[in-house]
Amino acid sequence: MFVGALELDVLLGDVHSLKQKRSAVRPVVAELRKRFEVAVAEAGHLDLHRRALIGVSAVAADAAHVTDVLDACERLVASRPELDLLSARRRLIGPED
């Protein structure tokens, strides 16, 4: 079994309040869950209205599948015009770890 974790640090566009931030981040989180069947949540920068840290995790029998899913999640977030992807960090935990 392999577990992958992805942290996506994003900058939000024209957002001036935490309420607007939730309105921008919530659809992205929902789309990631629906399209890729991953666990996903806003996991950081909770008190900043123009930044968000989105955490994604996936579990699969082989490392290649986990990597493919996390790559697709990263591409989806990077393609959103209302977000600027600042950084992406990932970890992969396998049976030997």
The strand pairing partners of 18, in sequence order, are: none
Write out the residue range of the structural domain in which residue 89 sits. Answer: 2-93
Domain count, the chain: 1
Cα 6 to Cα 31: distance, rounded to the nearest angstrom:
16
pLDDT, position 96: 86
- pTM here is 0.91
* Contacts for 87 with CB less than 8 Å, ≥ 6 apart: 7, 8, 9
Q: Whole-angstrom Cα distance, residue 83 to residue 97? A: 34
Mean pLDDT of 42-70: 95
> What pLDDT score does 13 carry?
87
CATH of the domain at 69: 3.30.70.1120
pLDDT of residue 14: 87
Cβ atoms of 32 and 38 within 8 Å: the answer is yes
Q: In the structure encoding, which two tokens stand for residue 88, read together?
A: 């992406």
pLDDT in tens, 7-38: 999 999 889 999 999 999 999 999 999 999 99
